[in-house]
Structure 1
Amino acid sequence: MKILPRRDTPLDDRLEALAEAVTAAGDRLPEPEVSAARAVVERAGARRGLSLDHTVVALAGATGSGKSSLFNLLAGTELAEVGVTRPTTGAAQAAVWRPDGSGPLLDWLGVPRRHALAPPPEGLVLLDLPDHDSIDLGHHLEVDRLVTLADLIVWVVDPQKYADAALHERYLRRLARHREVTLVVLNQIDRLAPAAVARCIADLRRLLDQDGLPGVPVLGVSARTGAGVEALRAVLEERVARRRSWAARLAADAATAADALASCAAGPPPKIREGDLTAALAEAAGVPVVVEAVAKAHRHRSVAATGWPVTRGLRRLRPDPLRRLHLVPGPSRSSLPAPSQVQRSRVDTAIRNLAESATAGLPEPWAAAVRRAARAGTDDLEDALDRAVTTTALSASARPRWWRVAGAAQWAALAALVAGALWLTALFALDYLRLPEPPTPTAGETPWPTVLLLGGAAAGVLIALLCRLVARIAARRRARRTARALRAAIREVAETLVLAPVRAELDRYATFTRALERAR
């Protein structure tokens, strides 16, 4: 919704803030309040595009209040039919001082009966409205419509009905934000003694204070004798000369609409308490199973990579704990066990608890939107968790470089053992065949062939034992790193499918509340 045109920066800010609040509210607040605020924004745009040099003043009152008589007196001619005991104003009519440029404005007001008058006060558009207490429903609707559109409202009351509940409850109390564009005229003061006039005006001010309209000007006039009319005319001329009533009216409308929206809100947005959501998702995704499999797989692969080369093949015949879970990338799911009913129930409970914490104090339609957002991605949750676990587990299966060193050392030990065995076999064969035995080098008192044989065997066993010890320590460390990585991956899934949609709704609510503060 765009406000046209920019002529008053504070008013523009207020109306644009109201438009922002309406956009943010969408269907999350009761339709009557949102529609009323949207209508204010649209009405403001329309009024801003029409003549700002004219001030629309509406005379509103009950049957017999003398409203039409006052209209004629201010106009200086008999324009309206005057009645006392029955409504005589069936449709609004306008008296226009300086009618140039007022046509589109009156068309927008929907007032076909127009009377052009000579200034002063130049720029005044004075409307005589139907009686607000008329038995004709159409008169009621016409008054309600034009009271909403007029720049300045003059309520004409008389000593008998100034305390009428219909006037105060249906109109005045709803205009508490419109003090700057409201006047109250007590007509027919010629029928009262001066002291009675003072008492009536004082009581009328008391009622206006109760209506939330303190400080609203109350003028005593007599349309029959003309008493007080010049003072009323002076007030109207002053308001018309300032040409600010239209802006004050639109600002009051925006504040009233913002108040109505604020009554549906509940203060600042609450904070999300994630609680045990990540833990519940991790359990449902099989993270404990994967962490254990990572540790076992690391030990299994370490033995296969650093164990005695002759027996490595036997180790490879055993199933790999990670491969057994089919943790491979692809469109198909892994072989991790599906979440149990208890685990699914725990996830549902965690999401529900998160939504409840995020909706504490929110108006129910908005709270329902947050709850829907929290569950919007639950259908994709299991597959997303499986992909996250698979990807993280695969990154945890990298082969450490020390395996190659240890494996090379094992092959070297095996080579020494084989060399020693072959050397001893050759010496045994020479001795068996009674052939001259070549000189055999020694390491101290021990022949080198024996050193190679026994040293290679001992080195292989020692390397294997050390590698198993290191593998156990490394497996625990890798399991801890994998657990942290898996929890981070699970949190990312929770953020994408649960927390981000909830935060988006809460951010929208925060935008709404900030815009309301500006509009109010």
Structure 2
Amino acid sequence: MAGKGLALLHRRDETAHLTGRVRALSEAAELCSGRVPEPAVAEARRVVTQTDRRLAVSGAATVVALAGATGSGKSSTFNALTGTDLATVGVRRPTTSTALACSFGDDSAEELLDWLAIPRRHALSAAPDVATGLDGLVLLDLPDHDSTEAAHRVEVDRLVQLVDMLIWVVDPQKYADAALHDRYLKPLASHAEVMMVVLNQVDTLTPEQRDSCLRDLRRLLAAEGLGSAEVLGVSARTGEGLSALRSRLGRRVAEKKAAAVRLAADVTAAATGLAAASGDERVPPLPTSAVDAMTTSLAQAAAVPVVVDAVDKAWRLRGGLATGWPVLAWLAKFKPDPLRRLHLDRLGSGGRRREIDPSGVGRTSLPATTGVQRARVDSALRTLADTASDGMSRGWSDAVRRAVRSGESELPDALDRAVAGTDLDLSGHRRWWRGVQVLQWVLVAAVVAGLVWLGSAFVLAYLRLPPLPDVLWWRLPAPTVLTLGGVLAGLLVATVARIGVVVGARRRAVRARTALRRSIAAVTERLVLEPVRTERGRYDDARAALDRARGA
């Protein structure tokens, strides 16, 4: 009892492991859909559906099919194994395209046979002596795989995909038949553990001929990847070798592993085929250079250089207005402000910063994208697509290319809004302007005072009134010092301040370029890189699911 309990526990573990692999294959099929040739995806889905259904019906039964060509003695072997005369042999073979089933033991196999769609069935609840030890076996006699009736071949092909174990019955004359080997044995090489090849009619051979045929048959199977398949020589007519065949069948039935092994082989084959169609190359991370090139191209298309130049000029203009000699600085007011002209000014009246809600940012007046810029963006998109899909199969590569361009129609508006919503940092870093401005007005006041002083002296002299007392500063008349000194000092201060304004303009331009590039990079990430990473992530998930499905 303890041994049976351990065996049952082991089978449950195997079933749980198989179920996990089936789920992984189903996941891989969904991920590969639309990226991998449909036949490979359809086969994976078929295996998932078939495995789920097989595990759900009569899990304790073992379905073994006898398959072979016309005249191989397949039906005679079926009768000999069942101890009945259920299968019609020889010239009395029926023309029906359906298989014949015989179940052993008291457990009903009706649900399983309904799933297999086999109407001709027989139950051996009280098995004859020749069938002792085969309880739980469901034995099928398939139509001839080389029948002239297409319906017969279709039925064989259908059941070959569904049964737990296959026994190919061959005869000494046609055991090397290319139709059998090319159509069935070679494609099923991965199922060698649940296949057996029986050489029938060995009673017609001498011992030397028998050994030679069996040796040649094993050589052929090994060359086709079926070296682990069991090979037996039997005679359905005389009964030779049948006891060994029953013994091996009994062992397979008692182990109750044939179904799981067959299904696991199906899952492995389907996963291997899907992996071959999908591609198994590990894709490297997106290189920073490709991402930077994409951002640079979009920045060019968004007229970032124009904005940076406008920031430089606007800072110089505004700095000149604030720190220049007031007598002449007012002339600069007639010059257009580059940022206001582009609708990128974020300063309100009085130089105060005006906050802008990014969701309500309007259109700018930036120059339209030129053909050259559009060509550069298109080239950058193609380069990024090639880099991102390097090493992928055609279907996945095409999916990545579609992902790269999925947001292309949104790019113009998104770039324009990104530029319009970028804080160009022009509201700060200007306190010293106020100090210079105050100094300039003090100097203007000095000039005005000097002029008034000189004017008063001129008026008094003209009216022949007593003159004002002489006041000398540095041996020069004070009014003259105030007037000329104020003018010269104002011009000197404006010149020195101009140097500071130019240096500040360059810094503001550099920072504006960085801020704008950051905004453009966010657009690149959202509309270009994110779809690409999603598609590449799907590819990686598919690879991981296929590895799990293959039991890796």
Q: Same fold by TM (over 0.5)? A: yes
The answer as to whether partners of 1:327 and 1:390 remain within 8 angstroms in 2 is yes
Q: Would you say 1:502 and 2:519 are equivalent positions?
A: no
The answer as to whether partners of 1:63 and 1:87 remain within 8 angstroms in 2 is no
Q: Relative to structure 1, is the Cα distance of residues 295 and 312 closer, same or farther in structure 2, using a 3 angstrom cutoff?
A: same
Partner of 2:507: 477
Partner of 2:543: 513
C-alpha distance in structure 1 between counterparts of 2:19 and 2:301, whole Å? 52
Instruction: Provide structure 1 residue ranges, at least 5 long, that are not aligned to the other structure.
Output: none
C-alpha distance in structure 2 between counterparts of 1:208 and 1:43, whole Å? 27
In the TM superposition, what is the alpha-carbon distance from 1:387 to its structure 2 partner?
A: 1.8
SS of aligned partner of 1:395 = coil
C-alpha distance in structure 1 between counterparts of 2:401 and 2:434, whole Å? 54
The answer as to whether partners of 2:388 and 2:400 remain within 8 angstroms in 1 is yes
Partner of 1:201: 214
The answer as to whether partners of 1:63 and 1:85 remain within 8 angstroms in 2 is no
Partner of 2:243: 230
Q: Would you say 1:139 and 2:124 are equivalent positions?
A: no
Pick from 38, 47, 66 the counterpart of residue 73 of structure 2: 66
C-alpha distance in structure 2 between counterparts of 1:314 and 1:14, whole Å? 80
- RMSD (Å) for aligned C-alpha atoms: 2.6
Q: Relative to structure 1, is the Cα distance of residues 458 and 59 closer, same or farther in structure 2, using a 3 angstrom cutoff?
A: same
In the TM superposition, what is the alpha-carbon distance from 1:420 to its structure 2 partner?
A: 4.2
In the TM superposition, what is the alpha-carbon distance from 1:427 to its structure 2 partner?
A: 5.7
C-alpha distance in structure 2 between counterparts of 1:466 and 1:358, whole Å? 53
Partner of 1:345: 375
SS of aligned partner of 1:149 = coil
Q: Would you say 1:257 and 2:277 are equivalent positions?
A: no
Q: Would you say 1:103 and 2:110 are equivalent positions?
A: yes
Q: How many residues align?
A: 515
C-alpha distance in structure 2 between counterparts of 1:459 and 1:214, whole Å? 104
Partner of 1:387: 417
1:257-309: CA deviation from partner (whole Å, max 9, x where unpaired): 11211222333254445273333322222222222121111111111122223
Partner of 2:281: 268
C-alpha distance in structure 1 between counterparts of 2:330 and 2:13, whole Å? 83
Q: For residue 324 of structure 1, what is the amino acid of its counterpart?
A: R
SS of aligned partner of 1:234 = helix
Greater mean deviation of Cα atoms: 451-460 or 143-152: 451-460
The answer as to whether partners of 2:424 and 2:515 remain within 8 angstroms in 1 is no
C-alpha distance in structure 1 between counterparts of 2:92 and 2:294, whole Å? 72
The answer as to whether partners of 1:414 and 1:457 remain within 8 angstroms in 2 is yes
The answer as to whether partners of 1:154 and 1:183 remain within 8 angstroms in 2 is yes
The answer as to whether partners of 1:326 and 1:335 remain within 8 angstroms in 2 is yes
Partner of 1:295: 312
Q: Would you say 1:173 and 2:186 are equivalent positions?
A: yes
SS of aligned partner of 2:335 = coil
Please report the TM-score for the alignment, with normalisation by the length of structure 1. Answer: 0.91
Q: Would you say 1:154 and 2:167 are equivalent positions?
A: yes
Partner of 1:39: 46
Q: Relative to structure 1, is the Cα distance of residues 55 and 190 closer, same or farther in structure 2, using a 3 angstrom cutoff?
A: same
C-alpha distance in structure 1 between counterparts of 2:232 and 2:473, whole Å? 127
Q: Relative to structure 1, is the Cα distance of residues 298 and 85 closer, same or farther in structure 2, using a 3 angstrom cutoff?
A: farther
In the TM superposition, what is the alpha-carbon distance from 1:171 to its structure 2 partner?
A: 0.9
In the TM superposition, what is the alpha-carbon distance from 1:326 to its structure 2 partner?
A: 2.7
Percent of pairs with identical residues:
53
Please report the TM-score for the alignment, with normalisation by the length of structure 2. Answer: 0.86
Partner of 2:295: 278
The answer as to whether partners of 1:270 and 1:357 remain within 8 angstroms in 2 is no
C-alpha distance in structure 2 between counterparts of 1:241 and 1:409, whole Å? 105
Partner of 1:322: 339
Greater mean deviation of Cα atoms: 266-275 or 33-42: 266-275
C-alpha distance in structure 1 between counterparts of 2:137 and 2:473, whole Å? 124
The answer as to whether partners of 1:156 and 1:187 remain within 8 angstroms in 2 is yes
Partner of 1:365: 395
1:195-225: CA deviation from partner (whole Å, max 9, x where unpaired): 2111111111111122221211111111111
Q: For residue 375 of structure 1, what is the amino acid of its counterpart?
A: R
Q: For residue 384 of structure 1, what is the amino acid of its counterpart?
A: A
SS of aligned partner of 2:441 = helix
C-alpha distance in structure 1 between counterparts of 2:94 and 2:168, whole Å? 16
SS of aligned partner of 1:171 = helix
SS of aligned partner of 1:8 = helix
Greater mean deviation of Cα atoms: 421-430 or 169-178: 421-430
The answer as to whether partners of 1:20 and 1:512 remain within 8 angstroms in 2 is yes
Greater mean deviation of Cα atoms: 38-47 or 502-511: 502-511
In the TM superposition, what is the alpha-carbon distance from 1:486 to its structure 2 partner?
A: 2.5
